[in-house]
Amino acid sequence: MAPKRKPNSTTKSAPRARLSRRAKENNITNEQENEVREAFELFALDNVEGFEDEKEGVLRTDDVRRCLVALGINVKASELPEIIETLDPSDEKYVTYEHFLAYVALVRYNNPQDDDEHHAEREAEVHEAYALFTNNHTGPITLRDLKRVAKILKEDVSDDVLKDMLCEANGEGKDGWRKGVSLEDFKSVMRRAGVFG
């Protein structure tokens, strides 16, 4: 007598789909890879000389920005040359799907700036840098603090320049240097300078 099959259980969870090789390589889900593939296919060209083996086709470098925008990745015109250089290092004027996927996976899905732990590390670094300026006091950063730091760094900086730095950092205008720079002002300066996200 043949063994009886177990009845299907309604509480049984659906099996997880296996990740594709490319999804695994780029640390993304199959759904994320499909999203990238669909955007790539909107602009991809087939049978381009020198790229006949590219199953997904290739993307003209002129279409990279449009394809990234289709994925919700806003790219400044000033950033585009560096992105193109990354995606097409040989300057062949075409980008393969594999290179494009790796780039998008990195900037959109695996961006460490989105990670809470990374955010906490950055926050700690800001506090540490601020403490260096204030000599481990609660703040604000004063003209005296900047003079001390300039002396440590063996920099000859005039009081007027240091006052301008304080005014620029706290946004208070000409006489704002007396107020000093609070931790929040300091964070704002670091963000504007691109030091911390």
**pLDDT at residue 6 greater than cutoff 80:** no
Q: What mean pLDDT do residues 48-53 have?
A: 92
**Domain assignment present for 101:** yes
CATH code, domain carrying 104: 1.10.238.10
**Within this chain, do residues 96 and 133 fall inside the same structural domain, yes or no?**
no
**Domain assignment present for 2:** no
Check if the beta carbon of residue 59 is closer than 8 Å to that of residue 88.
no
Residue ranges making up the domain that contains 136: 114-192
Q: How many domains does the chain have?
A: 2
**Within this chain, do residues 26 and 105 fall inside the same structural domain, yes or no?**
yes
From the list 161, 195, 179, 28, the residue with the least C-alpha distance to 101 is: 28
Go through the chain and tell me how many residues it has.
197
Q: End of a domain among 76, 109, 142?
A: 109
CA distances from 56 to 23, 47, 111, 119 (A): 15, 10, 25, 37
Residue type, 143: L
Band (159; pLDDT cuts 50, 70, 90): very high
pLDDT for 24 equals: 85
Check if the beta carbon of residue 149 is closer than 8 Å to that of residue 132.
yes
**Domain assignment present for 1:** no
Which of 42-46, 96-100, 142-146, 176-180 has the weakest average pLDDT? 176-180
**Domain assignment present for 7:** no
pLDDT digits (tens, 9 = 90+) for 51-97: 999 999 999 999 999 999 888 888 888 889 999 999 998 899 999 99
Distance CA 176, CA 43 (A): 53
**Domain assignment present for 15:** no
Q: What mean pLDDT do residues 28-54 have?
A: 92
**pLDDT at residue 13 greater than cutoff 50:** no
Q: What mean pLDDT do residues 28-52 have?
A: 92
Q: End of a domain among 109, 130, 160?
A: 109
Q: End of a domain among 75, 109, 143?
A: 109
pLDDT for 117 equals: 63
The three state secondary structure string of the chain is CCCCCCCCCCCCCCCCCCCCHHHHHCCCCHHHHHHHHHHHHHHCECCCCCCCCCCCCEEEHHHHHHHHHHCCCCCCCCCHHHHHHHHCCCCCCEEEHHHHHHHHHHHHHCCHHHCHHHHHHHHHHHHHHHHHHHCCCCCCECHHHHHHHHHHCCCCCCHHHHHHHHHHHHCCCCCHHHCCECHHHHHHHHHHCCCCC
pLDDT digits (tens, 9 = 90+) for 104-152: 998 887 765 555 666 677 788 888 889 999 998 888 999 999 999 999 8
**Within this chain, do residues 97 and 163 fall inside the same structural domain, yes or no?**
no
**Within this chain, do residues 146 and 91 fall inside the same structural domain, yes or no?**
no
pLDDT for 83 equals: 92
**Within this chain, do residues 47 and 73 fall inside the same structural domain, yes or no?**
yes
**Within this chain, do residues 37 and 99 fall inside the same structural domain, yes or no?**
yes
